[in-house]
Amino acid sequence: MCSKLLCFILSVFLGLATTESQYKPPTIFITTLVRNKAHILPYFLSYLEQLDYPKERISLWILSDHNSDESIPILKAWVDTVREQYHSIYTEFEDGYPYTYPGEEGPGHWTTDRFKHLMQTKDSSLFYAKQKWADFYLSLDADVLLTNPSTLKYLIAKNLTIVAPMLESDGIYSNFWHGMTEDYYYLRTDSYTQILKRENVSCFAVAMIHSCVLVDLRKAESDFLTYRPDKIKDYQGPYDDMIAFGLSASLNNISLYICNEEIFGYIPIPLDEEDDMSSDFEHLLNIKMEILNSGQHWNLSEVLSQYVKLPKKDSMMFDKIFMINLERRSDRRKRMELCFEELGLIVETIEAVDGKLLNDSILQHLEFMPDFQDPYHKRPMKLGEIGCFLSHYLIWIKVIENDYKSVLVLEDDLRFETFFRYRVQSVMSEVSSIVPDWDLVYFGRKKMQDTEEPWVEGADFLVEAGYSYWTLGYVLSMSGAAKLLDAEPLTKLVPVDEYLPILFDKHPKENWKEHYPKRDLIALSAAPLLVYPTHYTGEKGYISDTEDSKIISETVRVKEDL
């Protein structure tokens, strides 16, 4: 039994708890303006559709005009497919002429008419959201890829009037400014880099946010927000929608927040005035590669997949491109295959020799360097290292057997740098013209010494390779393959990381080099590198099939016991 007062308090509390638990999620009004985005729309719409938020609580407002591509057909096809899932979808499509604004010189050129149209449209969408009694307004650019399904729930939970998720991009570009000059232009600050690199992690008040901005319309102060300079008293800023919106907030003491606590998604670098649409395609490719490198993959619906245009595949300037992959690492193989599709590469997968499956009948045909010990762990070779060496060895044999003049060898745990194909072209053009008798070119490696490596004379992208680890990516010529095989490495085996520097005479251990008296491999390295590991030692997700294996001495002891 309880007292009347206690029973009353409990009943009120339980009633409130029940009521709160029955609240529906806030309604969200998402506005998107589309122009010449056919190349990225299938990905944008797919990630929009995959957001983890009840679609019946979302209204969409999609406008598109002045297109010279398939943007509108893509939007119509998608809207027809998902219309019944959302609370409502309002569209305004102006197809056909004109394709450009008066005086517009290219896709990166913003004329007064273009800015005016953008600002009026955005302001109308904000007003429309308020008229529809939406709880939240999300302004979302059509080239933002929100790869984090929880983005909307995360932003709403912050309970901020204006907030944006920090978006990844090439270099040091993102969707916020930390500083602003007195005349309202971008100002780089040290804090900007700290936020971008996540040296500090939180939600930060900043000078400007754009491209993906959530506004809490339930708060009275949101009524002061506008995208139109003519609605701001004594406006002195540039004729720009982002700056007008930011000033309408700051003049009314409303803070703009950027949050970097999670990876939310990606945004391409905006086009400069002199850029054409090919630059936008390149930026998209880089973003897609970043997403694939992170281990994510596309999940395009059938209606959108038909609009995706992948490049025609080839082997670039190489006779063959090989990828080494363990059969049990299907996840890595799948990710790399998606990368090859995006890059337009024809690649032959070589099933790696699995160290875990090596047995006595195989090991008895190998002879190990008698004085070898791992330089850091002071141990003999591991079975995984033997498997790795044999995997590369099999490719070297293929080069000779098939008279390949040059091949690109890739491992399955790498990520490609931006503009990969273009950079490969630049590097290999210098190789062929400046060092015609080359044997090996590292595309990715770990430099093991602090000493300066000399630049190849006359080259902008090549250095003479010093003592290096990793074979995650390298180019090999026929002469290089012959030298690697002629040295008979299976009679004095060491890990392939050590073997290559021995052969090009840059290994620090003189006693090891004595086992290989002919050390004339001509080895170069791309500078900067073209591929890097997906994960480094100690990072979350790092797995090493060479380190996670038994050392050869354990196998020997087993044989002796038998």
What mean pLDDT is predicted for residues 73-79? 96
User: Do 496 and 388 form a contact (C-beta atoms < 8 A)?
Assistant: yes
Mean pLDDT of 208-219: 97
336 close to 330: Cβ distance less than 8 angstroms: no
Contact 521, 465 (CB under 8 A): no
State residue 4's pLDDT score: 55
Q: 511-527 pLDDT, tens per residue?
A: 999 999 999 999 999 99
* Phi, psi for 512 (deg, rounded to 5): -75, -40
pLDDT of 271 strictly over 70? yes
- Read off the pLDDT of each residue in 219-233 and give the average, rounded to a whole number: 94
User: Does position 310 have pLDDT exceeding 90, yes or no?
Assistant: no
pLDDT of 275 > 80? The answer is no
Q: How many residues are present in the chain?
A: 562
Residue 10 — very low, low, confident or very high, per pLDDT cuts 50/70/90? Answer: very low
Average pLDDT over residues 465-470: 95
pLDDT tens sequence across 168-193: 987 789 999 999 888 888 888 999 99
The mean-pLDDT minimum among 4-8, 19-23, 440-444 falls in 4-8
Structure tokens at 382: 């591991």
| Listed residue (160, 150, 277) closest to 216, CA to CA | 160
Q: Collect all residues with Cβ–Cβ distance below 8 Å to 324 and sequence separation of at least 6.
A: 350, 352, 391, 392, 395, 409, 410, 411, 412
> H-helix or E-strand containing 19?
helix 4-21
User: Which residue has better confidence, 231 or 553?
Assistant: 231
CA distance 465 to 449: 11
Per residue in 138-173, pLDDT (tens digit) is 999 999 999 999 999 999 999 999 999 999 987 789
The whole-angstrom separation of Cα 330 and Cα 561 is 36
The residue whose two tokens read 């979808």 is 89
Q: Which amino acid belongs to residue 299?
A: N
Burial class (CB in 10 A: 0-12, 13-18, 19+), 293: middle
Q: For residue 546, what pLDDT is reported?
A: 58
The per-residue pLDDT for 14 is 47
Q: What residues does 215 pair with on adjacent strands?
A: 137, 162
For residue 78, with 0-12 CB atoms within 10 Å meaning exposed, 13-18 middle and 19 or more buried, which class applies?
Answer: buried
86-95, 161-170, 266-275, 457-466: which has the minimum mean pLDDT? 266-275
Confidence class for position 18, pLDDT limits 50, 70, 90: very low
Helix then strand count (H, E) for the chain reads 17, 21
Return the C-alpha torsion angle 474, 480, 481, 483, nearest 10: -140
- Region 307-311: what's the mean pLDDT? 87
Cβ neighbours, 10 Å, residue 493:
21
Question: Which segment, 101-105, 367-371, 486-490, is predicted with the most confidence on average?
Answer: 486-490
Please state the φ and ψ torsions of residue 149, each to the nearest 5 degrees. -60, -20
E strand or H helix that includes residue 331: helix 330-343
- Is residue 359 within 8 A of residue 448, CB to CB? The reply is no
pLDDT over 90, % of the chain = 66
Q: Mean pLDDT for the chain?
A: 89
pLDDT at 363: 83
The mean pLDDT of 251-273, rounded to a whole number, is 92
**Which residues are CB-contacts of 182 (< 8 A; sequence separation ≥ 6)?**
none
Helix ranges restricted to H, 65-111: 71-82
Provide the token pair at 215.
């506004």
Half-sphere exposure of 521 (CA within 13 A, CB side): 34
Judge whether residue 411 has pLDDT over 70: yes
pLDDT at 402 exceeding the cut of 90: yes
Structure tokens at 559: 């044989």
Q: What is the radius of gyration, based on Cα positions, of the chain?
A: 29
What is the arithmetic mean of pLDDT over 26-47? Answer: 95
For 171, other C-beta atoms within 10 Å of its C-beta total 9
**% of the chain residues with pLDDT over 70:** 91
Q: How confident is the model at residue 292 (pLDDT cuts 50, 70, 90)?
A: confident
Q: Label residue 260 by pLDDT band (50, 70, 90).
A: very high
Most distant pair of Cα atoms in the chain: their distance: 97
Q: What are the beta bridge partners of residue 256?
A: 162, 206
Rounded distance, CA 249 to CA 278, Å?
36
> Is pLDDT at 17 greater than 70 in this prediction?
no
What's the pLDDT at 447?
Answer: 93
Residue with tokens 């996670």: 548
Q: Nearest to residue 560, comparing CAs of 369, 495, 552, 366?
A: 552
3-state secondary structure of 349: strand
Tokens of 42: 């299938």
> Do the beta carbons of residue 202 and residue 165 sit within 8 Å?
no
Closest to 40 (Cα-Cα) out of 209, 241, 277: 277
